[in-house]
Structure 1
Amino acid sequence: MPSFAGNTLRGSFFLMLGLWWSIKYPIKYILQKLNSDNPPSRWNQCMDIIEGTAKAFFALGGILAEQFVPDGPHLSLYDNKTQDWVQLMHWQHMTMYLFYGFSGVVDVLIYTPLKLPVGLDRLLVALALFAEGFLFHFHDYKDAILTEHLYSLMNIAIFGAALCALLEVFQRDHTLLQLFRASLFILQGSWFWQIGFVLYPPWGGPGWNQEDYRNKNFLTMCFFWHYAVGLLVMAVNGFVGHRCSRGCGVNYGNFDVELDLTCCLWKKNRTPDPVLLPDNSSEEK
């Protein structure tokens, strides 16, 4: 949807996914460090299945929203009467959601008895990002100079995340790559919101002046401000995860809250197994 609501919908999708990863991967790294002998694979599987299911359903919602909004194409691609394509912008956005839906389905199927190849889930993420990036790159912006610049900046985050996901196909569970991908998804999500405010102000009125080069200069700077805020959010999440690993109990007044980090509790509360000694009885039988 080329509207404020459409941009916020896409932005919310990427923001939620990036923020979730910024919490998931630090906790996963901490759990592996605390319990390296017995990594919590079951916890990882549950989180990945829930994540894939949510991704697939959100993508399905995006596809339906793009097609069946009042001014949408309603599954009509070409109009024979006018001899013209029908709402290609909606179809492009639908294609973007379609590939992320494929990625969500593979996230779930990877843990089924189908025995899919290791790394296929990351490959589908990379393909979804490449599809999204090329759709925006080859879009015809006509004379909308500022709009084209906004999406050119967006492509920095998109293709950066795509290359990162592609590297993860071969470097499985590389924490730095995972965190870098999460930061670029947060950037992409917040930038979609920024595009919505610039091109389709929710309070009404026209968007920003397309011909003013000062707007381009400001928005380029603003793009990196968005990334700086995203990195700050990730740092806070990492710090909280680290503090949780240092002390598994948090005291709030009269209440003791136990943070259920499985291996942390296991290591902290583990007691040595009793050793059975032979009974040296002096009594003769």
Structure 2
Amino acid sequence: MARGPDPAPRGHLSSPQGVEKDESPFGSVLPAASLGPAWPSPAFRTVSRLIPKAGDGEGGGRQSGFGAASPAASLGPGVSLVFNHSHASVMGSFLGHTLTGLSFLLLGFAWAIKHPLKFLGRKSKYSLQIEKLIYWVELLEWGGMAVVCSSGALLEQCLLEGPCFRLYNETTHQWVFLNLWQHSTMHAFFAMAGVVGVLTRCKFQIPMGLDHLLFSLALFNEGLLFYTHSSRMSALDQYIHYILLIPIWTGAVCSLFEVWHRNNPILELFRTSMFITQGTWLWQIAFLLWGTSSWDHNDPETYIFMALCYSWHYGSAVLFLAFTYGIVYWVLWILKGNCGGEAMEIQKFNQADAKTYTALLNGSDEE
């Protein structure tokens, strides 16, 4: 009896023979439009983010332009995609993108309240209390950044069979998990900025503005590493990460200006809007690549919608800042109004009492 073709091995995704493949600028293979609008499926998007172990020989992966192992060589006549499920990046997943986005959002929300409060509270009767509160909030911000980012750098190196501070494999002559090294480097730069921020607020002899300078350099470095990020499985994946460079590098330039223009409310609010947008866009990336809905990665209108979607993200961030600014202004006005109203009533009462007392002394029935 004739034997049929062997089924695809476990952990593989097979496509019909003769499927065309397009090479991306980063060496990853892009599926052709003949795969249909449902490509890539949610299952493919999930496993495609996992990083093959460098040098283990599984799947016949070839080396990409930036050194990360790519499954392109396994796309032979049967067009099978091979992935090693045991080696994944923490940030290169749905959970990683959402947690990182949540960190940027929390920091942006804190700034959305702190900066208007610092600006509007300067002439308030509570200015001393507000200044003391902001000091402790900033100390918590920079200290939390140092702790969280240091932990993130160590987790990327040591968990999930990471590189463990090994950059190059002398046996296989291949780089070891450059994706994880990129993530660790991002965290390390933000951790250094956090340490300097804490030391600056602890009255150490540190030049004024050095905290914002290191923070700006950390953002520039983040943008550079995102620009050269490897293992992108589709052009749409690259495109949405390139859009992410807009809030990253814009925030870096804004932080650099704050080295010389410290406590400028315009720069502070603009930087806050960039951080909120970066956080929401990371969530957008997570749901686009690992969500339940399917996106056509070969439809040009998808790219147009992504640019439009980013505009909505930033517009929403600006509206949120306007809302929080109005809330802070209203709260301070209410507190100042109540105090001012009570003082006005006391002043009127004293004037009326003095007038009555004068009339009684003059023997007049005026009152």
The whole-number CA distance in structure 2 between the counterparts of 1:266 and 1:81 is: 75
Instruction: Please state whether the residue corresponding to 1:118 is helix, strand or coil.
Output: coil
Residue range with higher mean Cα deviation, 30-39 or 135-144: 30-39
Which deviates more, 117-126 or 139-148? 139-148
TM-score where L is the length of structure 1:
0.81
Q: 1:182 to 1:142 in 2, by over 3 A?
A: closer
Is 1:115 the equivalent of 2:202? Answer: no
- Using the alignment, how far apart are the partners of 1:160 and 1:35 within structure 2? 36
2: CA distance between counterparts of 1:28 and 1:264? 19
Alignment of 1:150 with 2:240, yes or no, is yes
Match of 1:79 in 2: 169
Aligned residue in 2 for 1:44: 134
Kindly state the Cα deviation for residue 25 of structure 1 after the two structures are TM-superposed. 0.4
Q: What TM-score does the superposition give when structure 2 sets the normalisation length? A: 0.63
1-structure distance, mates of 2:169, 2:229: 20
- The equivalent residue for 2:103 is 13
**CA pair 88-180 structure 1, distance change in 2 beyond 3 A:** same
Which SS does the other structure have where 2:165 is aligned? coil
Once the two structures are TM-superposed, the CA of residue 155 in structure 1 deviates from its matched residue by 0.6
How far did 1:78 drift?
2.0
Of Structure 1 and Structure 2, the greater helix share is in 1
Aligned mate of 2:321, from 231, 234, 253 = 234
Going from structure 1 to structure 2, the CA distance change for 1:35 and 1:124 (only over 3 Å counts) comes to farther
Residue 16 of structure 1 aligns with an amino acid whose one-letter code is: L
Larger RCO (CA under 8 A, 6+ residues apart):
1
Q: CA deviation at 1:143?
A: 6.5
Distance 1:7 1:163, change over 3 A: same
Q: Which runs of 5+ in 1 are unaligned?
A: 249-262, 273-285
After superposition, the Cα gap between the structure-2 partners of 1:77 and 1:69, relative to the gap in structure 1 and judged at 3 Å, is same
**CA–CA separation in structure 1 for the residues paired with 2:337 and 2:145:** 30
The structural deviation recorded for 1:38 is 5.9
How far apart, in 1, do the equivalents of 2:110 and 2:135 lie? 15
Of 5, 8, 28, 2:118 maps to 28
Q: Sequence identity of aligned pairs in percent? A: 35
Residues 218 and 123 of structure 1: CA distance in aligned 2, closer, same or farther (over 3 Å) = same
Unmatched 5+ residue regions in structure 2? 1-90, 348-367
Q: Work out which of the two has the higher radius of gyration on C-alpha atoms and give 1 or 2.
A: 2
Partner of 2:282: 192
Query: Which of the residues 222, 230, 236 maps onto 2:309?
Result: 222
Corresponding pairs, count: 255
> Is 1:32–1:39's contact at 8 Å kept on the other side of the alignment?
no
1:259 corresponding residue in structure 2: none
State the distance in 1 between where 2:341 and 2:269 align.
28
Root-mean-square deviation over aligned CA pairs: 2.7
Q: Secondary structure at the match of 1:91?
A: helix
Deviations 1:248-268, CA, capped at 9 Å, x for gaps: 2xxxxxxxxxxxxxx999989
Once the two structures are superposed, residues 24-54 of structure 1 have per-residue CA deviations (whole angstroms, 9 ceiling, x without a partner) of 1011112113259869543332221111111
In the TM superposition, residue 245 of structure 1 has moved relative to its aligned partner by: 0.6
3-state SS of the aligned residue for 2:141? helix
Match of 1:93 among 180, 183, 190: 183
